[in-house]
Structure 1
Amino acid sequence: MLHDPSAAEAVSTSALKLHFGETVVLDGIDLTLARGRTLALLGPSGCGKTTLLRLIAGLLGPTRGRVAIAGRTVADAASGAFVPPEKRNLGMVFQDYALWPHMTVAGNVAFPLQMRGVPRAGRRQRTLQALDRVGLAGFADRRPGELSGGQQQRVAIARAIVAEPQLILFDEPLSNLDRELRETMVGELAALIAALALTAVYVTHDHAEALTLADEVAVMRGGRIVQLASPDRLVATPAAPEVADFLRLGGTAEVEPWDDRWRFAGSPVELPLRRPAGSGPARVLIPTAAVSLAGTGIAATVLRTQFRGDGHLAAVAPEGLAGVELQVLSQVRLKPGDSIRLSIDPDRIHVFPPAGRVS
């Protein structure tokens, strides 16, 4: 297939699989990313997100399925077609930035142009333009070791965009920064991606990063995409308990029919939520926003607390509900072992769809 620069799809994969011997690393990945948008691949270590990025980059070839970039097939297991990384017109920002300490900032940024045989004068002009676009005008003659972590990241981004690639791949670029700088850089990086109108695939294990940066988030688990949705929909309607648990949206619990309502499975404690006629046992998400302290209500014991900007987040165990852990936000600090009572807002409870069907 010929390259089509105007193709609406920046990247797509179809039935993509990767096996290492008997080990299945990716198991049927289908996704499409439109131009000018950012997709986050989110999940715990070993879920396959970095492997998927490497398949898009051309650092690995698929066992089955195909990868297309801007309408051009770059890997197809059935036909054996495979375009090497250097011919996919990609930019990459690595976990450790991969900057050469002996080279100047300009030398690092210009390296992709040098590899493409761009003449010296053209390299200098495009390098300075790229540095200006990321807010580093005047830093061309410095060394990476003279820069802060955030500035080094901007150098890495300038190098990724200098050749004007059609797609930028980010491989956990903030993971090596300390927590305070990482939180600051998430917002700056999101603004930079938007200002540069980049099309990007961004790998991270941090859900706050993904929800801040991305237009779409693919939550991965065990080599599969559990849910692919916008950040807002992901939070409002998680497709599976695994998604809710990973995003730390609240507590999940098994419930069973009780007259026209549900109760917690194996317990007489009723859930204040009307049950649709004909529905059976289910699993529900009780978001943190649905739980509040009350004078009367479900008795619970505080397990642990953590301070955050808007109050103290407490993990609590409702009495008589083995294995159920809820979260409640309190303006006063609760201590482990404290006895409290909880009220649950039924309008905020989310009932998961049956297994195999996404809501």
Structure 2
Amino acid sequence: MNAPTRPLRAAVSAAELELSYGATTILRGIDFSLPKGQTLALLGPSGCGKTTLLRLVAGLLAPSKGRISIGEQIVADAAKAAFLPPERRGLGMVFQDYALWPHLTVGGNVSFPLEMRGVNKADREGRTLRALERVGLGGYGQRRPSELSGGQQQRVAIARAIVAEPALILFDEPLSNLDRELRETMVGEIGNLISSLGLTAIYVTHDHSEALSLADQVAIMRGGLIEQLAPPDVLIDRPATPEVADFLRLGCVAAVERHGETWRLVRGGAAIAAADAAAPDTTHALLPIAAIELVETSEAVLSGIVLRSQFRGDGHLATVQIGSGEDRGELQLISRTKLRAGEPVGLRIDPQHIRWFSSNAYK
């Protein structure tokens, strides 16, 4: 008989966390628990609260309600007026603008946290060298930040964050100042570094691919709330709300209504599934790109007009208008060939791939 598995101990957690300024609520009802050695990505549009949440964890802001724990220690508890400043929370931070001191060498920048902790010079030098080697900058200790490329400066910032071997590292959109090709390279490097060092990390980004490729768990944030918190594959396969599906660009999210024996699109009026395919209180459906097929008119269940077609690597992404006037809607599909704007097309939808949403739950 196998011994029961113990739940992973949380490296960082938040419970009933809120932040308000006067009558304005910035964050509300935030709960999460991140096991040691995992990465949590906070993903969402500008203004959703993801950077504010990171600052609460860092100790740069104090919560109006709720509590935050790092390891076994409560670092903020609004009910008890308990609050530990950033320097006592045992964490490292990597910022969007690198935040390197230009008057210090690369080695001086990396060793600064150790100096602030009173670590002796010999130990500082050894740990600084090891941190630089870990990020691929072993021979750069005597250079100035101005002599380095953007990617190298970001590596210095990461080395500074890990040099004191913190329990937690916070990344605040660290790659947003880099070009796309370098961002893709750095995402892989950061992921490998986090994994190889067994780090726990919270990573703020607005980039879908960064979050989904780097994190063990992703929190989709909207309007100061966590809309869904789940591993990347669960987010893609089972988005909890129409808003999550729409934000992740998983396909067309459309309002639906039941007409007799079928479910129909509110815009366009096309029948997409039998009545028993979804619960009676269903309000929206996600039509993934893979669920929509281009077919001959004689086989089509609905017809439309091509609005635009763009090549995206695995084919041409076509946007098709269905219906007309106030009832018109849009669907997207992949075509092997480029479709011309204004071209009429026939479409078929595989109901097995449709995701259904009600006001209270998803199917």
Output the TM-score relative to the length of structure 1: 0.93
Deviation at 1:56, TM superposition (A): 0.3
Deviation at 1:101, TM superposition (A): 2.2
* Cα root mean square deviation, aligned: 1.8
1:257-336 to 2 correspondence within 5 Å? 257-265=258-266, 268-273=269-274, 275-276=276-277, 279-296=280-297, 297=300, 298-320=302-324, 322=327, 324-336=329-341
After superposition, the C-alpha distances for 1:91-126 in whole angstroms (9 at most, x for unaligned) are: 000001111222211111111111111111111000
Q: Could you say what secondary structure the match of 1:78 adopts?
A: helix
Separation of aligned partners in 2, 1:27 and 1:186 = 30
Matched letter for residue 306 of structure 2: V
1:144-223 to 2 correspondence within 5 Å? 144-223=145-224
May I ask how many residue pairs the two structures share in their alignment? Answer: 352
Q: Could you say what secondary structure the match of 2:79 adopts?
A: coil
Q: Which stretch of structure 1 is more off in the superposition, 163-172 or 300-309? A: 300-309
Asked if the contact 1:91/1:168 (under 8 Å) is kept, the reply is yes
Separation of aligned partners in 1, 2:305 and 2:201 = 44
1:1-359 to 2 correspondence within 5 Å? 8-265=9-266, 268-273=269-274, 275-276=276-277, 279-296=280-297, 297=300, 298-320=302-324, 322=327, 324-352=329-357, 354-357=358-361
Q: Could you say what secondary structure the match of 2:329 adopts?
A: coil
Separation of aligned partners in 1, 2:21 and 2:343 = 50
Deviation at 1:322, TM superposition (A): 3.0
Asked if the contact 2:98/2:157 (under 8 Å) is kept, the reply is yes
For structure 2, the 5+ residue unaligned runs are: 1-7
Separation of aligned partners in 1, 2:192 and 2:58 = 24
Separation of aligned partners in 2, 1:59 and 1:225 = 20
Separation of aligned partners in 1, 2:82 and 2:133 = 38
Matched letter for residue 352 of structure 2: D
Asked if the contact 1:318/1:326 (under 8 Å) is kept, the reply is yes
Runs of 4+ in 1 over 6 A off after TM superposition: none
Matched letter for residue 44 of structure 2: G
For structure 1, the 5+ residue unaligned runs are: 1-6
Matched letter for residue 343 of structure 2: D
Q: Which stretch of structure 1 is more off in the superposition, 73-82 or 337-346? A: 337-346
Separation of aligned partners in 1, 2:308 and 2:290 = 18
Separation of aligned partners in 2, 1:358 and 1:59 = 37
Deviation at 1:323, TM superposition (A): 5.3
After superposition, the C-alpha distances for 1:209-256 in whole angstroms (9 at most, x for unaligned) are: 110110000000000011000100000010111101110000011111
Matched letter for residue 287 of structure 1: P
Q: Which stretch of structure 1 is more off in the superposition, 224-233 or 307-316? A: 307-316
Asked if the contact 2:91/2:170 (under 8 Å) is kept, the reply is yes
Separation of aligned partners in 1, 2:46 and 2:197 = 30
Separation of aligned partners in 1, 2:272 and 2:246 = 20
Separation of aligned partners in 2, 1:130 and 1:277 = 54
Question: Against the structure 1 CA distance between its residues 305 and 195, is the aligned structure 2 distance closer, same or farther, given a 3 Å change threshold?
Answer: farther
Asked if the contact 1:65/1:78 (under 8 Å) is kept, the reply is yes
Question: Against the structure 1 CA distance between its residues 208 and 322, is the aligned structure 2 distance closer, same or farther, given a 3 Å change threshold?
Answer: farther
Separation of aligned partners in 2, 1:17 and 1:268 = 42
Matched letter for residue 237 of structure 1: R
Asked if the contact 2:323/2:329 (under 8 Å) is kept, the reply is no
Q: Could you say what secondary structure the match of 1:325 adopts?
A: strand
Deviation at 1:342, TM superposition (A): 1.7
Q: Could you say what secondary structure the match of 1:86 adopts?
A: helix
Aligned to 2:3: none
After superposition, the C-alpha distances for 1:264-309 in whole angstroms (9 at most, x for unaligned) are: 1265421135525862442100011112211132212222333222
Deviation at 1:319, TM superposition (A): 2.8
Percent of counterpart pairs with the same letter? 60
